[in-house]
Amino acid sequence: MIIHLLSGGELLMKKLWIAVSAFFIILCPSLEGNAFAKERQADELVLALTKEPRLGFDPTVGLDGAGNGFIYSTLLSLNEKMEITYDLAEEYQVSEDKLKWEFKIRDDARFTDGHKVTAHDVANSFQLAKSRGEIKSLEGLKRVQVIDDYTVQFLFERPLSSFVYSVASIGILSSESYGKGNEREPVGSGPYQLVKWNKGEEAVFVRNDGYYGHQPFFRRIKVLFVSEDEAYAMAKEGRADLVQSTGVYAGDKVAGMETLVLDRAGNRGLSLVTIPAGASLNGAVAGNDVTADPAIRQAIQAGVDREKIVEKVLNGYGQASLSAASGLPWSQSAKAGENKDMAEELLRIGGWADSDNDGILEKKGIKAIFPIAFPFDDSIYKAMALELKEQLADMGIQITIQESTWPEMKRSIQAGASLMKSESYNPFDIYYLYHSTNRGIGFGNPSLYGSEMVDAAIEKALLSGDYADWKKAEELALEDVPIVWLVTVPQVYFVKKELHIGNTIAPSSYPLSVLNGAQNWRLE
């Protein structure tokens, strides 16, 4: 995790408007900031976050849920160095072939409903998660067996060394209390308990005094779900202790607060379909004759100016990226750089030329035109698409921009190009993004890429678990450029100077991930 302490910076017009608004609010006698300072207790926190868990607080629904490591215990956890540490589990063993994993859990953990946490709860949690199919890293899980009340065994159809990271991200449910409504009234054994959730407004958590681990300093944490502009105004007015923001505001100096810019696992890229048009997948057309040409993909990889994207889209806060895992131990070590001369040469050798002088390259009667799809609700994607459109036009490549709903995205990604992200703290993402068996499955392998050599390299990594093998697998895949990785988008927070949040693992953009490790927060 990289932490930058920032100050200064110039406001954009948007920020100026908010600052002026905040100034007039300060003049108003009913300003909530004064009440906040007077009424808040020393062991209470108020957070202003811009993302809310779409599907509530159920750990079996995947990344759209929330609460792992906070409301829910996990078998293992990750520290700030990305090292595996123990949580609910006290020890574990794995067979040499990576087909059998056995965990022994502690006997002093209890759920907030009073029941003891047992191996039956662990088994039930993973079986539910597997049956729902949203957590892709559980693919290949064949069976979960309870050996005794505090020993559980996982059996796999194929080697899965990355399972050690999966168990660090899947919360354990109470078998006694789980049922309809769990996403709103979760029962876990983590350091905090959800006591109130008004969707679209706020969530309130209180300390779990029966927690088996380190007792949190803060008794109560109130999370307000607000827009980016509202969050910034709250920081300026002093109405929150921790405020989620973006690079747009990262350079601003906010009185009484420090700015944390956390760089890790927020990688965004451009997926390019690698098969020609005419195919059909999942009942929809698949393939694109332009992106299927290796010369197009290699030229974009060489010619795109990633630093310019960082400056124009991320306001200078971010990093150029060449990997799905930038900032993680299994990422590529190569540095990104722009080479437009190489891009032009690749296109020329590949047979692309502007023979009619209209500014667009063509080859055998096919114009270098293709669509780029991205989710309509993500402003960073939109800004990236506009910047890419400008940069690629200079190379003789024209793109059409498609803002899509999520159901539309599933169809769009297999017909051209799409903007995407990888934010998992799990090398399984390499398998999910590049292995041929994942073509057309959910959002896996969006470029429809297939290579026997890459598949074999990924399978070797799944068996060994060695970082070097994961790096090699992605290196081989990226030689064919199924995805052009572009930038790492940081997480930006304004934090009260007296609030110490320590060196916990950097949060991702997924809802409430910043709360992982909140049991170690304190006032100084």
Structure tokens at 391: 């940069």
Same domain, 460 and 497: no
Within 238-305, where are the H helices?
A: 294-303
- What percentage of the chain has pLDDT greater than the value 70? 90
Average model confidence (pLDDT) across the chain = 88
Q: Quick one: pLDDT at residue 31?
A: 43
Q: Are residues 422 and 481 in the same domain?
A: yes
> Minimum mean pLDDT among 142-156, 169-183, 348-362, 473-487: which range?
169-183
At which of 131, 146, 178 does a domain end? 178
282: confidence class by pLDDT, cuts 50, 70, 90: confident
Instruction: Match 């899980």 to its residue by tokens.
Output: 141
433 or 66: which leads in pLDDT: 433
One domain for residues 396 and 448: yes
Considering only residues 154 and 23, tell me which one the structure prediction assigns the higher pLDDT.
154
Residue 509: the pLDDT is: 64
Q: Tell me what pLDDT residue 39 has.
A: 57
DSSP calls for 229-248: HHHHHHHHHT--SEEEE-TT
**pTM (whole model) above 0.75:** yes
Average pLDDT, stretch 510-519?
Answer: 85
Own/partner contacts of 289-295, CB < 8 Å, gap of 24 or more, are 289/366, 290/366, 290/367, 290/368, 290/369, 290/370, 290/416, 291/370, 291/416, 291/417, 293/350, 293/352, 293/363, 294/350, 294/480, 294/481, 295/346, 295/347, 295/349, 295/350, 295/351, 295/352
Q: Is there a single domain that holds both residue 405 and residue 474?
A: yes
pLDDT tens across 188-212, in order?
Answer: 999 999 999 999 999 999 999 999 9
State the pLDDT at residue 270. 98
Q: Is residue 62 part of a domain?
A: no
> Per residue in 136-166, pLDDT tens?
889 899 999 999 999 999 999 999 999 999 9
Say yes or no to pLDDT of 32 above 60: no
State the CATH number of the domain containing residue 6: 3.40.190.10
pLDDT confidence of residue 11: 35
Report percent pLDDT > 90 for the chain. Answer: 68
pLDDT > 50? residue 6:
no
In a domain, 188, yes or no: no
Q: pLDDT class for 503, splitting at 50, 70, 90?
A: low
Q: How many distinct structural domains can be found in the chain?
A: 3
Grade residue 505 by pLDDT with cuts at 50, 70 and 90.
Answer: low
- Same domain for 326 and 434, yes or no, is yes
Token duo for residue 30 = 């009913």
Alpha-carbon distances, residue 375 vs 76, 151, 419, 446 (angstroms): 33, 43, 8, 14
Residues 391 and 283 both lie in one domain: yes
Q: Please state which of the ranges 56-60, 241-245, 288-292 shows the lowest mean pLDDT.
A: 56-60
Residue that terminates a domain, selected from 114, 146, 178: 178
Domain assignment present for residue 190? The answer is: no
Of the two residues 508 and 455, the one the predictor is more confident about is: 455
d(CA 45, CA 519) in angstroms, rounded, equals 12
Domain at 122, CATH number? 3.90.76.10
For residue 21, pLDDT over 90 is answered with no
Segment 429-444 shows an average pLDDT of 92
The reported pLDDT for the residue numbered 25 is 36
User: For residue 4, how many other CB atoms are within 10 A of its CB?
Assistant: 14
Is pLDDT of 98 > 90?
Answer: yes
Task: Classify residue 411: in a domain, yes or no.
Answer: yes
Looking at residue 336, the DSSP 8-state letter turns out to be P
Are 324 and 410 in the same domain? Answer: yes
Q: What is the CATH number of the domain that holds 280?
A: 3.10.105.10
Looking at the fold, whether 81 and 217 belong to one and the same domain comes out as no
b vs e for 197-233, b when ≥16 Cβ sit within 10 Å of the residue's Cβ?
beeeebbbbbbbeebbbeebbbebbbbbbbebbbbbb
pLDDT recorded at residue 181: 72
The tokens describing 204, both together, are: 């309130």
**Confidence bin at 64 (pLDDT 50/70/90):** low
Is 251 a domain residue?
Answer: yes
Q: Which residues does residue 401 pair with via DSSP β-bridges, in sequence order?
A: 372
pLDDT of residue 371: 96
- Domain end: 125, 148, 178, which one? 178
Check residues 424 and 389 and name the one with the higher pLDDT: 389
Predicted pLDDT at 344: 97
Predicted local confidence at residue 248, as pLDDT: 83
Where in the sequence is the domain holding 167, given as residue range(s)? 73-178
Is residue 73 predicted with pLDDT exceeding 90?
A: yes
Dist CA 415 CA 490 (whole Å): 30
- Measured in residues, the chain has a length of 524
Q: Are residues 248 and 344 in the same domain?
A: no
413 lies in some domain: yes
Q: Do residue 314 and residue 430 come from a single domain?
A: yes
Spatial neighbors of 257 by CB under 8 A, at least 6 apart, are: 235, 243, 494, 495, 496, 497
Residue 193 lies in a domain: no
Query: Are residues 339 and 322 part of one domain?
Result: yes
- Assess if residue 195 is contained within a domain: no
Same domain, 273 and 396: yes
- Asked if residue 473 lies in contact with residue 323, where contact means CB atoms within 8 angstroms, the answer is no
